[in-house]
Structure 1
Amino acid sequence: MSALPAAPAATPPSSRAPRGPRGLLWTVLRLHRPALIVWVLASAAIAGYLIRLYALGDEVRAGMSVCGSPGTGRPLCSAVDAITADETYLGGLSLMATAVSYLMFPVAAWAGGALIGRELESGTADLAWTQSVTPTRWLATRLAVPAVLIASGTGVLVLLHNWARQDGAPNLTGDWYDPDVFLATGPAAVAYALAGLALGALAGMLTRRSLPAAGLGFGAALVLYNALDHYREDLWPLHLMETGIALAVAVAATAAAFALLRRRTA
Structure 2
Amino acid sequence: MSALPPAGGGLPRTVLRLHRAALLTWTVFVVGVSGWLAWLTKVTAYDPGSKGPSCYDVCVDGFSYPVQLSWAGDLIDYGFVGVAAFAGGALIGRELESGTARLAWTQGVTPVRWLAAKLALPALAVTVGGTVLSLVFRWAFAAHPDLSWENWTWAIAFTARGPLLVAYALCALAVGTLTALWLGRALAALGTAAGAMWLFSAVLTYYRPYLWPALTRTGPHAFDLPDGTWLVSEGSNSHGRFATYHPASHYWPLHLTETAIVLTVAVLATLLSFRLLKHRTESPA
User: Does the TM-score normalized on the shorter chain lie above 0.5?
Assistant: yes
**Per-residue CA distance 1:50-90 (angstroms, 9 max, x = gap):** 111120366259999xxxxxxxxxxxxx69xxxxx995221
Q: What percent identity do the matched residue pairs reach?
A: 45
Structure 1 residue 52 and structure 2 residue 24: aligned?
no
Matched pairs, number: 232
The structural deviation recorded for 1:18 is 4.8
**Per-residue CA distance 1:68-117 (angstroms, 9 max, x = gap):** xxxxxxxxxx69xxxxx995221121111111110110110110011111
Instruction: Give 1:51's aligned amino acid.
Output: A
Q: Corresponding residue for 1:157?
A: 133
Q: Corresponding residue for 1:260?
A: 276
- The 5 A counterparts of 1:109-128 are 109-128=85-104
How far, CA to CA, are the matches of 2:95 and 2:42 in structure 1?
44
How far, CA to CA, are the matches of 1:198 and 1:214 in structure 2?
13
How far, CA to CA, are the matches of 2:93 and 2:50 in structure 1?
53
Question: Normalised by the size of structure 1, how large is the TM-score?
Answer: 0.81
The structure in which a higher percent of residues are strand is 2
Structure 1 residue 131 and structure 2 residue 107: aligned?
yes
Is the 2:44–2:50 contact (alpha carbons within 8 Å) kept by the matching residues of 1?
no
Question: Normalised by the size of structure 2, how large is the TM-score?
Answer: 0.76
Q: Corresponding residue for 1:24?
A: 11
Q: Structure 1 unaligned segments of length 5 or more: list them.
A: 1-15, 65-77, 80-84
Q: Structure 2 unaligned segments of length 5 or more: list them.
A: 56-60, 213-252
The structural deviation recorded for 1:165 is 2.1
Q: Give the superposed CA RMSD.
A: 2.3
Q: Corresponding residue for 1:214?
A: 190
Structure 1 residue 240 and structure 2 residue 256: aligned?
yes
Q: Corresponding residue for 1:175?
A: 151
Instruction: From the superposition, tell whether residues 192 and 235 of structure 1 become closer, same or farther in structure 2 (CA, over 3 Å).
Output: same
Q: Corresponding residue for 1:89?
A: 65
How far, CA to CA, are the matches of 2:50 and 2:99 in structure 1?
61
The structure in which a higher percent of residues are helix is 1
Instruction: From the superposition, tell whether residues 168 and 247 of structure 1 become closer, same or farther in structure 2 (CA, over 3 Å).
Output: farther
Q: Corresponding residue for 1:200?
A: 176
